[in-house]
Each structure stands twice: as structure tokens, then as C-alpha cells.
Amino acid sequence: MTMAEKNSEAKVDVKPEATTALEKREERRLRRWDPFEMFDDLQEEMARLWGQAFPLMPRPLSRPLRRMALAPTTWMPSVDVYEKDGNVVVKAELPGMKKEDIELALDQGDLVIRGERKAESEVKEENYYRVERTYGSFYRRIPLPFEVKPDQITASYNDGVLEVRIPKPPQEQAQPQPQRIPLR
């Protein structure tokens, strides 16, 4: 048996729990930091521990901490950031908001979007009357990889979508493109 065959056999013996832990760790590197994630991991580990110690004991219904902490009162708009035509474009979905309720600022090199959403719907029918009100403020801070002056930034708000265009400095635009190297 060659060394390569022994190594490939050793790789096959990885336990499924270890594989999922490795996948979770790799996935965490690519995602935005979530303060409640460590509590969810702790809860999963405790459930696994108690499941191994007392396999016949019924498990309580799990209620992830994230769902309890981020109750329906919290609202965070979706934001897309991408490059197009030498600009960094930031698009934020802010449905039902008025232009006056949105604040856009440049703070310590970061783009800050904040605002307050207020909505009220009223239904009057013959047999019932219903009023629903939703309120909530949001704050998004997007770090910019380069310095920019506020007068260079353009922003527009149409149909519930805020679009901010930030021109990239010339040295950022002139980055060399990756080139393929042939394998022999």
C-alpha cells in the first residue's frame, strides 16, 4: 500500500460530526459576525451533550436564542454592495419609507444609513375595526475600502430603493486583472 492510499483512507475515516464542525467553521469565515451565533452553538453543544449522556431522555422543544432575541420588533433593511462602471454601488431596500425619514452620512470613512420606519393601516368594516401600527429604527454602517469626499457621493431614492454611488479613486480602478497560468 502506497503512502497516498494510506492518506486517502485516513481522510475517509472523518466522522460526520467533525465534518459538519469543519464546514460550520469555514462558513463562519465567509459570513458577517452575528452576536447570537455563539449562543446557538452553545445550545446545540449542550443538546448534543445531554443527548449522549441520557439517550432515552426526551429532549425539550428547542427555541433558538436568536429567534427570541430578534423578535418581530427588529427590522433591518436588505443592502447590496457591488462595483459597477468604476463606482461602488450601495442599494438598500427601504419599502414604505419617506425620503425625509432616511439619513445618509459619511462617518470616519464609513457610509452610514439610518432612519425610522413608521406605518399605519386602518380597516373599517361593518363588523370590525382594525388599526395596525409598525415603528422601528434601523442603522447600517458600511465600511468603505478607500477614502472619499462627501461631495463625490450621489444618492437617489425611488420606489422604496435607496441607491448610493461612490466613485472609486483612480488607483483602485487600475488594479491589474488576474491572469491565467497554464498548467503543464
Whether the predicted pLDDT of 71 surpasses 70: no
Tell which of 15, 41, 69 closes a domain: 69
Q: Are residues 123 and 92 part of one domain?
A: yes
| CA distance readout (Å), 28 to 34, 65, 79 | 9, 18, 20
Q: Are residues 131 and 89 part of one domain?
A: yes
**Beta strands 87-93 and 161-167, pairing class:** antiparallel
Structural domain count, the chain:
2
Q: Are residues 113 and 64 part of one domain?
A: no
Whether the predicted pLDDT of 107 surpasses 60: yes
Closest Cα partner for 142 from 169, 110, 167, 166? 110
In a domain, 183, yes or no: no
- Expressed as residue numbers, the domain containing 130 is 79-173
Q: Are residues 83 and 18 part of one domain?
A: no
Q: Are residues 108 and 54 part of one domain?
A: no
* Predicted pLDDT at 25: 64
Rg (CA), the chain: 25
All three cell numbers of 154: 450621489
Q: Are residues 45 and 16 part of one domain?
A: yes
* Predicted pLDDT at 102: 92
Q: Are residues 64 and 12 part of one domain?
A: yes
| Average pLDDT, integer, range 14-43 | 67
Q: Are residues 39 and 58 part of one domain?
A: yes
- Report the distance separating Cα 134 and Cα 151, nearest Å: 34
| Average pLDDT, integer, range 63-85 | 68
Task: Give the predicted TM-score (pTM) of the model.
Answer: 0.52
* Predicted pLDDT at 49: 75
In a domain, 181, yes or no: no
Whether the predicted pLDDT of 80 surpasses 90: yes
* Predicted pLDDT at 37: 77
Instruction: Give the residue, 8 or 36, on which the prediction is more confident.
Output: 36
| Average pLDDT, integer, range 22-39 | 69
23-46 burial: b if 16+ Cβ within 10 Å, else e: eeeeeeeeeeeeeeeeeeeeeeee
The model's pLDDT over 113-139, given as tens digits with 9 standing for 90+, comes to: 999 888 788 888 888 888 888 778 888
Instruction: Name every residue whose Cβ is closer than 8 Å to that of residue 132 and which is 6 or more positions away in sequence.
Output: 120, 121, 122
In a domain, 47, yes or no: yes
| CA distance readout (Å), 63 to 34, 43, 139 | 17, 9, 27
